[in-house]
Amino acid sequence: MTATIIFVLLFGLMLTGMPVSISLGLTVLAFLFAMTQIPIESVALKLFTGIERFEIMAIPFFILAGNFLTHGGVARRMINFATSIVGHWHGGLGLAGVMACALFAAVSGSSPATVVAIGSIILPAMVKAGFPKRFGAGVITTSGALGILIPPSIVMVMYSVATNTSVGTLFMAGVVPGLLLAFMLGALTWWRARKNNYPRMQLVAGRSGAQATIATLAGLCASLFFMAAPILALWVLISSLLPEGGGFVAVLAGIAWLLAARFLVGSAFVLRWVFTVAYLVTPPFIVYWALRLIVPQAGILAAGILLVLWVFAAIPLAKRADLVQGAAIAARHEALIVWRHFWQSIWGLLLVIVVLGGIYSGVFTPTEAAAMSAVYAFFVAVFVYKDLRLTQIPKVLLDSANMSAMLLYIITNAVLFSYLLTSEQIPQAMADWMIGQGLGAVSFLLMVNLLLLLAGNVMEPSSIVLITAPILFPVAMKLGIDPVHFGILITVNMEVGMCHPPVGLNLYVASGITKMGITELTIAVWPWLLTMLVFLVMVTYVPQISLWLPRVLGMTT
């Protein structure tokens, strides 16, 4: 009974179009005033203590970091890097768009921000290259949704606030589903582009597709090697010399190396001899570690076999792709282009390591990682890329504060609301009732998906998560659903909701960039949206997709 009154009141107020936060607050106020003996004064205290938690403060920091990156030319460099890697396949720029969205999603926690950052650069380029407008808009609108699935993610922080699930574990759990979704969207893009014969990019004239692919991969391997190998060596050296406080020195040494590397990447010696070593060592090394993840027993013998096998294959491959120069394998053609763009976008890519590496290794708490990434993004945008002038900083701060305050205000009122629900014991009652109806895990998850997709039609993600999570979470726990898996499922639902009308924010952002109507965009988006729905079903019923990585890392049971 009380539950009915509360929800009728809430939805009634919401439908008048007032801000969601105000309708939440008014519901609580009205209910407490009319129906209970709880002193209303406790509301004022709750409005303050509701957000008095350090974990919540990750949200403003991530928003600030995202704003610095959007303004700071990081997106443009990531697009160039992605184009140099996948641009020569079918639907080149479209694929590059998917990859760039995935990369940017790894440094930004918001979907619309990803669409703006990537879309405003790549959509005009795609139209100019001869892609139909609809194709580009469809790719970017849906790929931009990766922003909240690939960590960091503001929606995941919201979920963790509402349910007390660990943010770090949720972030790690988002990695594999995020990559999988990026792959699925990319595959669809490739297939449609091939069917319709959309343009491919030819970075170097007169090269075949196979040649370009080999050279690209060689360039990627060499870049990774040149970045990581000295840092690993330094780290091993320092941690053996300095047992105490070595980690911090190693980080400083790593930064020093990257600063130095910027000046070395152009030298002829590096481009030939370091490249040769990297080309011969990196692929078997990567395969070896991938093997170790799946078969933990794989020993040094397996590494040796891989290396020998690769050496036999490597030289003919390099000859085929015309990468050989005298006795050495040299960075030429596409390999050189990948190399250049990798080193230009390195500062943006490193942010992924600051956030995920920092949280996983326990160097930072998620909130500290968010603050560090904001400072780092500021430093990169202003001093390294110099795309942001110091005079623009107050504006960026103000915009971030505006957006964060709005989200924090919703959180405050949602905490108030869930306090009311808990004190009336509504979530427990609902859980008991649902289980009493004989609801199993499978049908419950189906119901959750339908409910959230429906809610995605009228509300934006933060409000949905904050209102529904406290109610659905106890039921999920009683049915034995993993809290982390449940969080990823909710996040994927939010992604779908952002890409379809009437309130899909990504659609509006894309419509602003492309000057296309919402109806036309909706039609443009549907093939990718359908893929996302297939992906949603996979994530819902195969919890291993979300839970595998956190389990391997030992963050959850």
Partner 1 sequence: MMKALDHLEEWLIAFLMGAATLVIFVAVVHRYASGIPWPAFQDWLLTIHLSWAQELCIYMFIWMAKFGAAYGVRTGIHVGVDVLINQLPGRPRAGFILFGLAAGAFFTGVVGTMGAKFVWEIGHTEQVSPDLEMPMWIVFLAIPLGSYLMCFRFLQVAWSFWRTGALPHHDHGHVEGMEEVRDEDLVPLAMKDNLHPKEP
Interacting residues with partner 1 between 313 and 352 (CB under 8 A)? 330, 332-333, 336-337, 339-341, 343-344
- Decide: is 194 part of the binding site for partner 1 (CB under 8 A): no
Residue 213 or 531: the one with the smaller Cβ distance to partner 1 is 213
Residue 66 or 487: the one with the smaller Cβ distance to partner 1 is 66
The tokens for 160 are: 């963790």
- Decide: is 141 part of the binding site for partner 1 (CB under 8 A): no
Backbone angles phi, psi at 516, to 5 degrees: -100, 150
The tokens for 16 are: 């008048």
Do 458 and 503 meet the contact criterion of CB atoms below 8 Å apart?
yes
Answer for which of 12, 35, 36, 53 binds partner 1 (CB under 8 A) is 53
Taking the complex as a whole, the smallest distance from the CB of residue 328 to partner 1 amounts, in Å, to: 12
Which parts of 231-290 interact with partner 1 (CB under 8 A)? 242, 244-245, 247-249, 262, 265-266, 268, 271
| Residues in the chain, total | 557
CA 512 – CA 175 distance, rounded (Å): 29
Residue 45 or 530: the one with the smaller Cβ distance to partner 1 is 45
Which parts of 76-105 interact with partner 1 (CB under 8 A)? 76, 79-80, 83-84, 87, 93, 96
Which parts of 412-451 interact with partner 1 (CB under 8 A)? 412
Cβ-based neighbours of 512, under 8 Å, separated by 6 or more: none
Total residues at the site for partner 1 (CB under 8 A)?
112
- Decide: is 522 part of the binding site for partner 1 (CB under 8 A): no
The tokens for 415 are: 């905490």
The tokens for 291 are: 């093997």
Residue 267 or 425: the one with the smaller Cβ distance to partner 1 is 267
Answer for which of 1, 17, 197, 312 binds partner 1 (CB under 8 A) is 17
Work out the angle at residue 340's Cα, subtended by the Cα atoms of residues 335 and 343, and round it to the nearest 5 degrees.
120
Helix or strand (DSSP H, E) at 472: helix 461-478
Taking the complex as a whole, the smallest distance from the CB of residue 542 to partner 1 amounts, in Å, to: 33
Answer for which of 394, 436, 480, 554 binds partner 1 (CB under 8 A) is 394
Do 467 and 153 meet the contact criterion of CB atoms below 8 Å apart?
no
Residue 263 or 312: the one with the smaller Cβ distance to partner 1 is 263
Lookup result for tokens 């919402």: 518
Taking the complex as a whole, the smallest distance from the CB of residue 307 to partner 1 amounts, in Å, to: 28
Taking the complex as a whole, the smallest distance from the CB of residue 402 to partner 1 amounts, in Å, to: 6
Nearest to 241 by CA among 232, 250, 230: 250
The tokens for 512 are: 């602003």
Which parts of 155-184 interact with partner 1 (CB under 8 A)? none
- Decide: is 356 part of the binding site for partner 1 (CB under 8 A): no
Helices (H), 130-245: 133-143, 154-163, 167-196, 209-241
Taking the complex as a whole, the smallest distance from the CB of residue 21 to partner 1 amounts, in Å, to: 6
Do 117 and 108 meet the contact criterion of CB atoms below 8 Å apart?
yes
Taking the complex as a whole, the smallest distance from the CB of residue 246 to partner 1 amounts, in Å, to: 9
Backbone angles phi, psi at 328, to 5 degrees: -110, 160
Residue 230 or 247: the one with the smaller Cβ distance to partner 1 is 247
How many other CB atoms are there within 10 angstroms of residue 502's CB atom?
A: 10
- Decide: is 364 part of the binding site for partner 1 (CB under 8 A): yes
Could you tell me the end-to-end alpha-carbon distance of the chain, in angstroms, rounded to an integer?
Answer: 38
Classify the C-alpha dihedral 310-313-314-315 as positive or negative: positive
Nearest to 168 by CA among 409, 448, 487, 493: 487
The one-letter amino acid code at 273 reads W
Classify the C-alpha dihedral 69-71-74-80 as positive or negative: positive
CB crowding 164-186: b at 16 or more within 10 Å, else e: ebbbbbbbbbbbbbbbbbbebbb
- Decide: is 142 part of the binding site for partner 1 (CB under 8 A): no
Do 15 and 457 meet the contact criterion of CB atoms below 8 Å apart?
no
Cα 140 to chain center, whole Å? 14
Residue 191 or 269: the one with the smaller Cβ distance to partner 1 is 269
Taking the complex as a whole, the smallest distance from the CB of residue 388 to partner 1 amounts, in Å, to: 8
Q: Interface with partner 1 by CB under 8 A: which range of 46-54, 169-177, 178-186, 315-323?
A: 46-54
Which parts of 479-498 interact with partner 1 (CB under 8 A)? none
The tokens for 418 are: 């869930």
Residue 33 or 433: the one with the smaller Cβ distance to partner 1 is 33
Q: Is 456 helix (H, G, I), strand (E, B) or coil?
A: coil
Answer for which of 3, 228, 302, 458 binds partner 1 (CB under 8 A) is 458
Taking the complex as a whole, the smallest distance from the CB of residue 304 to partner 1 amounts, in Å, to: 34
Answer for which of 321, 403, 465, 539 binds partner 1 (CB under 8 A) is 403
Which parts of 22-41 interact with partner 1 (CB under 8 A)? 22-23, 25-26, 29, 40-41
Answer for which of 406, 439, 453, 533 binds partner 1 (CB under 8 A) is 406
State the virtual CA torsion across 260, 264, 265, 267 in degrees, nearest 10: 170
Residue 39 or 554: the one with the smaller Cβ distance to partner 1 is 39
Cβ-based neighbours of 96, under 8 Å, separated by 6 or more: 79, 82, 83, 85, 86, 87, 122
Taking the complex as a whole, the smallest distance from the CB of residue 136 to partner 1 amounts, in Å, to: 13
Q: Interface with partner 1 by CB under 8 A: which range of 219-227, 370-378, 526-534, 535-543?
A: 370-378
Answer for which of 114, 120, 163, 166 binds partner 1 (CB under 8 A) is 120
Q: Interface with partner 1 by CB under 8 A: which range of 174-182, 367-375, 420-428, 469-477?
A: 367-375
Taking the complex as a whole, the smallest distance from the CB of residue 51 to partner 1 amounts, in Å, to: 6
Taking the complex as a whole, the smallest distance from the CB of residue 478 to partner 1 amounts, in Å, to: 30
Taking the complex as a whole, the smallest distance from the CB of residue 490 to partner 1 amounts, in Å, to: 19
Residue 317 or 369: the one with the smaller Cβ distance to partner 1 is 369
Lookup result for tokens 């050989």: 324
- Decide: is 116 part of the binding site for partner 1 (CB under 8 A): yes
